[in-house]
Amino acid sequence: MWMLHTPEGAEFPFTFRILPGNIRTVGRATGANFIVEAPMVSRVHCRLTAGAAELEVVDLDSTNGTFVNGQRVPRALLKTGDRLGVGRVELTVSRAADDVPPEGPLQG
């Protein structure tokens, strides 16, 4: 599972999770999958496509642009530690385990 989160104490705190095989939109509109109500965020700002080994972001003609590690991008592949900028919100990309093994001995 991919996670995007703002740093602790951020003015606009957000945490989003996306499983491989899913596509999500980010924006201010109620129709966006991940709603970011913050300055300079377009109604439908960008699209995230999660794969098993990659997370792709595509800017959807947002007014103020989509940024990866401070650089404006039309499209980019994100990796753990990258910073995704949407308006005044900066989200850090990380991975969480997709499958957590059960605790205790295996039963057969």
pLDDT tens for 68-82 read 999 999 999 999 999
What is the torsional sign of CA 92, 35, 87, 9?
negative
Res 98: pLDDT = 52
15-18/2-5 β-pairing: antiparallel
Range 20-42 average pLDDT: 95
**Is the pLDDT assigned to residue 58 strictly greater than 60?**
yes
pTM of the model as a whole:
0.85
Residue 11 is predicted with a pLDDT of 85
**CA dihedral of residues 53, 75, 64, 11 (deg, nearest 10):** 10
Give me the amino acid identity at 72: R
Per-residue burial over 57-83, b = 16 or more CB atoms within 10 Å of its CB, e = otherwise: bebbebebbbbbeeeebeebebeeebe
Indicate if the alpha-carbon torsion angle 70, 47, 34, 92 is positive or negative.
Answer: negative
- pLDDT tens-digit readout, 84-107: 999 999 999 999 875 444 444 444
